[in-house]
Amino acid sequence: MALSKTVPLPNGTTAAYWAIASMQLVPKSSTWNVQLGGYVSSDAYTAGSDPLTTRYFVVTSTALGIDVSSSTVTATQTAIYAAILAVVNASGSTDTLNGAASA
């Protein structure tokens, strides 16, 4: 699962496919640092192209429905994407990814 939203970039290119480039658990704060990469297309991503741009998100373990303190934690990419969609598509959001959907 990834995200689909066409976003014009300042350099004149357009990113239309957004995929998790990296994610890291920060146990002390029970958060996940997530880098979302913007690609021309899913084909560009699959071919191993570098992202045109990246976005940084901090997602709480609570938003993922997991308890870091009580067990070994594995956050699924599906849960991460859902949490990012909730942030960018929140009522009143002016985020450039507002209106994004699952790809």
Segment 1-53, tens digit of pLDDT: 899 999 999 999 999 999 999 999 887 788 899 999 999 999 999 999 999 99
Other CB atoms within a 10 A radius of the CB of residue 44 amount to 16
pLDDT range class, residue 67, cuts 50, 70, 90: confident
State the Cα–Cα distance between residues 9 and 40, nearest whole angstrom. 11
> For residues 78 and 1, is the Cβ–Cβ distance under 8 A?
yes
CB burial of residue 8 (10 Å; 0-12, 13-18, 19+):
exposed
pLDDT score recorded for residue 75? 56
Residue 64: in which H helix or E strand, if any? helix 61-64
State the Cα–Cα distance between residues 96 and 7, nearest whole angstrom. 7
Mean pLDDT for 67-87 is 73
State the Cα–Cα distance between residues 23 and 28, nearest whole angstrom. 15
Pick the more confident residue, 74 or 85.
85
> For residues 35 and 23, is the Cβ–Cβ distance under 8 A?
yes
pLDDT score recorded for residue 66? 78
